Amino acid sequence: MVDYVDLSYEPNENDLVVMYFVEKAVDCESLEKACEEIAKESSIGTWTDILTMSADIAERLEPSAFYIDPQNQIIKIAYSEELFEADNMSQILSAIAGNIFGMKVINNLRLLDITFPKYIVSKYKGPKFGINGIRKLTKVEKRPLLGTIVKPKVGLNEIEHAKVCEDAWMGGLDIVKDDENLTSMVFNKFNKRVEETLKARNRAEIETGEKKIYMPNITAKLSIMKERANTVIDNGGEYIMVDIFTVGISALQDLRDYLEDKNVVIHAHRAMHAAFTRNKKHGITMLALAKIMRLIGMDQLHTGTIVGKMEGDKHEVLETNQVITESKIKGNHITMLDQEWGNIKSTLPVASGGLSPLHIPDLIKYLGSDMVYQFGGGCHGHPNGTETGAKAIRQAIDAVLEGSSLEEKAKTSPELKDAIKKWRK
Ligand code: CAP
Ligand code: MG
């Protein structure tokens, strides 16, 4: 009654299409059989035929595995949009990224990419600001936005935290963020930290004449996140940061709705992502997850550095950045599918992790300027501390944008010279 594999099927514009890497189990008779089981378990079927199935249900809802590439072990499945509650991303993932990862019929399964049909895209707000909106708010017109993360990750009290931020802003950085595991601690309470740090931010803006941004980490239960977002707004803040995978997809959707009529940029930290994105044979690509985060409406999203301390090769990072910044994607159908974004604004990619000023030439070469570059240890680890670390970062970006080498620039920039001395291998 139900044919899950139909190699003659041509997806229509209403289908949601998913591309998977599939390594079948040794005792599974064929890739086609594995493909059939994936299509079945992710939609209307189960391990055996059932008497409660009907021709009508099959006709309306059966997906079609329409592409099987044994050489690259890639399959594509087209799902009727009726299988999904369009504005419920949790349900969509429970279907196409749910039970199937655990089936014995496959050894490994990686969700490579998803093409969302127009009807589903239309149900999501997307980013409120977009790259242009962020540049307008931060008054940083062309160069990358430069930021740091307060280090140690946790441990400072509210006043010490605010001082580190003020030093970074005075040294020339645009943005300072909380680390992913700093929320409201016994030694550093969220409300007091936000109050003290935004006062420091106001002082730094007056001193430098530049717009300065603080990104407090509101990660918590949804009700608390809403309270914390209001605390940030009440203290004059314009950004919040959230650990998107530890708070969960439905909390993010609700938070984005809640912030719709508030002037707040959402910075998405992806802590925990590597538990399911890193394995090239199993899990979900950061590219697919980044698409979901753009749909839900993250304004800024960590996507990798290529050159820093975290895993993430050049090809993957560049394609991930492409799918969250461009309005129309023509995929190669090996690592990336097509995607029309309609009116969904762009998400600004963030490169962070193991970066120092010495990485800036490569960062600009590979990733360009429509980025946020963040330096944690690469700022506070400067031989003369945070403010000089921030100056070295600004000097390095100026050097690259002027077309001179870091060494050349260092001849007239002692802070950069000291950074080179410490970190040049
Ligand atoms: C960087 C960082 C970032 C990760 C994020 C950290 O600090 O604050 O959270 O790099 O990685 O805690 O490691 P450093 P990703 O600059 O001192 O390394 O963006 O890949 O998720
Ligand atoms: Mg961190």
| Pocket of ligand 1 contains residue 375 by CB under 6 Å | yes
* Domains delineated in the chain: 15-121 (3.30.70.150), 130-423 (3.20.20.110)
Q: With pLDDT > 70 as the criterion, what percentage of the chain qualifies? A: 100
Burial of 67 (0-12, 13-18, 19+ CB in 10 A): middle
pLDDT (0 to 100) of residue 280: 97
Question: For the whole model, what pTM was predicted?
Answer: 0.97
| Pocket of ligand 1 contains residue 309 by CB under 6 Å | yes
Most distant CA pair in the chain: distance in Å?
A: 80
Using an 8 Å Cβ cutoff, are 253 and 281 in contact?
Answer: no
Which atom from ligand 1 is nearest to the alpha carbon of 353? 10
Average pLDDT, the chain: 97
For residues 163 and 364, what is the distance between their CA atoms, to the nearest angstrom? Answer: 30
| Pocket of ligand 1 contains residue 376 by CB under 6 Å | yes
Q: How many CA atoms lie within 13 A of 10 on its CB side?
A: 0
Closest CA relative to residue 353, chosen from 287, 270, 288: 270
Catalytic residue among 269, 302, 359, 391: 269
pLDDT (0 to 100) of residue 165: 99
pLDDT (0 to 100) of residue 1: 67
**Rounded average pLDDT over 360-380:** 98
pLDDT (0 to 100) of residue 3: 86
pLDDT (0 to 100) of residue 366: 98
Q: Which run of H or of E encompasses 146? A: strand 145-149
pLDDT (0 to 100) of residue 2: 72
Q: pLDDT tens across 107-126, in order?
A: 999 999 999 999 999 999 99
Question: Is a pLDDT exceeding 70 seen at residue 192?
Answer: yes
pLDDT (0 to 100) of residue 223: 98
**Rounded average pLDDT over 145-157:** 98
Q: Give helix 158-170 / helix 190-208 axis angle, nearest 10°.
A: 20
pLDDT (0 to 100) of residue 416: 98
Q: With pLDDT > 90 as the criterion, what percentage of the chain qualifies? A: 97
pLDDT category at 211 given cuts 50, 70, 90 is very high
Listed residues: CB within 5 A of ion ligand 2: 179-180
pLDDT (0 to 100) of residue 425: 86
**Rounded average pLDDT over 32-38:** 97
